[in-house]
Chains A and B, each alone.
Chain A
Amino acid sequence: ETEQRATYIVHMAKSAMPAEYADHGEWYGASLRSVSTGRAAAAKMLYSYDTVLHGFSARLTEQEASDMAGMDGVLAVNPETRYELH
């Protein structure tokens, strides 16, 4: 529970959304909750993306990121990068 969280970009396969979800935001939220269940602090979603990627960004522990990467419908889980002005 003392693990540090970092931001990850989670890419989802939009077409793989299970039928029980009404929209993708709901599916993303459920996916996020499923990897942080049982932890003292829930993983937090920062953004849900829909136009340039299907997925979301969230604060995850390394373990949560790893678990997320193994879930059905998850294409990739990439750690956040810091860019600089040129």
Chain B
Amino acid sequence: TTRTPEFLGLAGSEGLFPQSGTGGDVVVGVLDTGVWPESKSYDDAGLGEVPSSWKGTCMAGTDFNSSACNRKLIGARFFNRGYEAAMGPMDTSRESRSPRDDDGHGTHTSSTAAGAAVADADLFGFASGTARGMAPKARVAVYKVCWLGGCFSSDILAGMDAAVADGCGVLSLSLGGGSADYARDSVAIGAFAAMEQNVLVSCSAGNAGPGSATLSNVAPWITTVGAGTLDRDFPAYVQLGNGKNYTGVSLYAGKAPPSTPTPLIYAGNASNSTSGNLCMPGTLSPEKVQGKIVVCDRGISARVQKGFVVRDAGGAGMVLANTAANGQELVADAHLLPAAGVGEKEGTAIKSYIASESKPTATIVVAGTQVDVRPSPLVAAFSSRGPNMITPEILKPDIIGPGVNILAAWTGKAGPTGLAADTRRVNFNIISGTSMSCPHVSGLAALLRSAHPEWSPAAVRSALMTTAYSTYTGGAGSPILDAATGAAATPFDYGAGHVDPTRAVEPGLVYDLGTSDYVDFLCALKYTPNMIAALARSKSYGCAANKTYAVANLNYPSFSVAYSTANGEAGDSGATTVTHTRTLTNVGAAGTYKVDASVSMSGVTVDVKPAKLEFTAAGEKKSYTVTFTAAKSQPSGTAGFGRLVWSDGKHTVASPIAITWT
């Protein structure tokens, strides 16, 4: 990617992360749509021999030789049996029965995580610079488990099975589905065993935001990643006939749009369909849109497809207007015709102008790339949000990372829009999603594993979470905002905050977790012995009859308190307390840490005991309790947030707090 190394403070900080010896031997396994091995992002210049412990392979198949792998791309496999069993034989004229990436998504995610540095990268001149993955010296292994018809759990499990056996240290899965309990969720099942075998699993949180309770991949042994914006935009201007000028975004790079005012029409007025405003295929009347700029509302269909529909109907350009679901968040696309995406407010103003003018006109001006945009990051409107509907007592997502308008490597089999009609071919593409933020964090986790090979997956996640920021670094303590609303975001949106790798490498203290802790967690959820055995692959794990289990005791780096009004908790009879227990492990020098904890919710207090922890040596563990006391019941849906921070003056070990009433 371009820009994200600078945005994350990684540019010029290579010394923080040793990249030789074992450091370079971290393998990031990416389960996705495969790989385009010819991309320069998989250049292996400067990399040593493939680690001797590596057991992976480079599977040959359609248009993919086993020689496609090298010292960067050290493994490539494909898993299609589940897909073809469910969907029938694949159309080999459209997709490759091999690790070859016909889609682009897998090439984008794997190069984001661990792609080599490529100078002079851009998309049609946009976002130009040196593109590189977050862990440019880490190795990449790809496991193609997603096909044109989707990603099937039997294939995903086969891919995870192989990835762990091959020797990956980090798995990156930018996919999700459903919200089954952990014992029936294949990704959670595979991730549990991966965790047990010292593999960190990073998953995307989903793009179902900004609605609440929309998360995927919420198992506590998974690192769940939401998406934020960068400090980079691709501005475009929509100049109306009345002289008003509105700013949007565009990656359009074709024939220059007309510089003279062009007739403007709202798609809802150019269609006989009730959903004509959405520019769905076949809904626009060519005679009404011919030669005009068409205003389409965002939603339902793909943004780039709307542009294609307008072009197909003879439109000269498109203004894509956000609705309330997206607010002011601007996601840029490489449309096939002159187009600009605008926020909800601008869209409303443009539509008002059309309604009030007998001959409305507009001009679209595409202005290129802009950096140092403030405020940033914002929580992406599409990023899925908490609370966690499977286990409300575990706060998810864990963290956010860059996921909007991300440039990374692309397939040679599809154009930047992914549309069949898009015959353009590019080396890099700019796309958005929690699919894009997940591999950022996967790559950063690989960096941390290279710097601290002795850390467990939970310790790495803890370091990423407790050093994340929830206020702008350059914004005098202003909170991170939500692109959907423009208001302050909450831990339900960003978890612990935005990832900050240069701080994560030296967190001071970590919240560690291992297999037995997660089994205790399952016992607290009252999982049956068979459910636990299915998840943990062994009958030897179980719940003791004489032991009390509590989700609140899972040594998680965040706090979620879920009061229930239905059960009368903190009801009229008086206050209710919930106590969480945590244990911190010192991974730094000796030091004395003091706590500061607060919640912004009237009637709820937080008390930490002890308030001071003294560590005299690395590896030392100290426990503390946090008691949340609610003086009275609150209406269902009420939520409050806070933060608990341990500090020795040099390190800040911060945990978000979420309190809800259901």
Query: Which A residues fall within an 8 A CB radius of B?
Result: 6-7, 9, 11, 13-16, 44, 46-47, 49-54, 57, 59, 75-76, 78, 80-86
Residues of B within 8 A of A51 (CB): 160-162, 164-165, 193, 197
Cross-chain contact A52 with B190 (CB below 8 angstroms): yes
Known: A50-B161, A53-B190. A83 touches B85 (CB 8 A): no
Cross-chain contact B154 with A47 (CB below 8 angstroms): yes
> Shortest distance in angstroms between A22's beta carbon and chain B's nearest beta carbon?
20
- CB under 8 Å from chain A, chain B span 105-163: 105, 146, 150-154, 156-158, 160-162
Known: A52-B189, A75-B534, A80-B153. A57 touches B164 (CB 8 A): no
Known: A52-B164, A57-B157, A86-B438. A46 touches B150 (CB 8 A): no
Cross-chain contact A83 with B156 (CB below 8 angstroms): yes
Known: A7-B86, A84-B175, A86-B438. A52 touches B161 (CB 8 A): yes
Cross-chain contact A81 with B153 (CB below 8 angstroms): yes
Residues of A within 8 A of B33 (CB): 85
Cross-chain contact A81 with B186 (CB below 8 angstroms): yes
- Let me know if B538 is at the binding interface, CB within 8 A: yes
> Shortest distance in angstroms between A53's beta carbon and chain B's nearest beta carbon?
6
With A and B bound together, what is the CA distance between A50 and B152 in angstroms? 18
With A and B bound together, what is the CA distance between A6 and B606 in angstroms? 51
A-B contact count (CB 8 A): 138
With A and B bound together, what is the CA distance between A78 and B556 in angstroms? 29
Of A9, A13, A82, which one neighbours B533 at CB under 8 angstroms? Answer: A13
Interface size bracket, B side: 35 or more
Residues of A within 8 A of B433 (CB): 85-86
Of A14, A57, A85, which one neighbours B175 at CB under 8 angstroms? Answer: A85
Cross-chain contact A82 with B204 (CB below 8 angstroms): no
Cross-chain contact A76 with B530 (CB below 8 angstroms): yes
- Let me know if B184 is at the binding interface, CB within 8 A: yes
> Shortest distance in angstroms between A10's beta carbon and chain B's nearest beta carbon?
10
Residues of B within 8 A of A76 (CB): 183-184, 530-531, 534
Of B105, B151, B164, B539, which one neighbours A83 at CB under 8 angstroms? Answer: B151
Cross-chain contact B537 with A14 (CB below 8 angstroms): yes
With A and B bound together, what is the CA distance between A14 and B434 in angstroms? 36
Nearest residue (CB) in B for A80 is: B153
Cross-chain contact B184 with A86 (CB below 8 angstroms): no
- CB under 8 Å from chain A, chain B span 164-179: 164-165, 174-178
Of B175, B184, B533, which one neighbours A78 at CB under 8 angstroms? Answer: B184
Known: A80-B86, A84-B176. 4 other contacts (CB 8 A): A53-B534, A53-B537, A75-B530, A84-B151
With A and B bound together, what is the CA distance between A1 and B193 in angstroms? 37
Nearest residue (CB) in B for A49 is: B161
With A and B bound together, what is the CA distance between A76 and B183 in angstroms? 9
Q: Which of A52, A53, A81 has the most CB of B within 10 A?
A: A52
> Shortest distance in angstroms between B606's beta carbon and chain A's nearest beta carbon?
34
Closest 3 CB pairs of A and B: A57-B154, A83-B177, A52-B193
- Let me know if B514 is at the binding interface, CB within 8 A: no
Residues of B within 8 A of A82 (CB): 86, 150-153, 177
Of A16, A53, A78, A85, which one neighbours B193 at CB under 8 angstroms? Answer: A53
Known: A11-B534, A78-B184. A53 touches B177 (CB 8 A): no
Cross-chain contact B82 with A7 (CB below 8 angstroms): yes
**Can you give 24 A-B contacts (C-beta < 8 A)?**
A7-B86, A9-B153, A9-B186, A11-B534, A46-B81, A47-B157, A47-B158, A52-B160, A53-B534, A54-B537, A57-B82, A57-B154, A76-B183, A80-B82, A80-B154, A81-B180, A82-B86, A82-B153, A83-B177, A83-B178, A83-B187, A85-B32, A86-B205, A86-B216
Known: A82-B151, A85-B32, A85-B151. A53 touches B157 (CB 8 A): yes
Cross-chain contact B154 with A9 (CB below 8 angstroms): yes
Residues of B within 8 A of A49 (CB): 157-158, 161
Cross-chain contact A47 with B146 (CB below 8 angstroms): no
- Let me know if B194 is at the binding interface, CB within 8 A: yes
> Shortest distance in angstroms between B247's beta carbon and chain A's nearest beta carbon?
28
With A and B bound together, what is the CA distance between A80 and B179 in angstroms? 13
Nearest residue (CB) in B for A78 is: B184
With A and B bound together, what is the CA distance between A81 and B657 in angstroms? 33
With A and B bound together, what is the CA distance between A81 and B190 in angstroms? 14
Known: A76-B183, A81-B186. A86 touches B151 (CB 8 A): no
- Let me know if B376 is at the binding interface, CB within 8 A: no
Residues of A within 8 A of B656 (CB): none
Of B164, B175, B180, B539, which one neighbours A15 at CB under 8 angstroms? Answer: B539
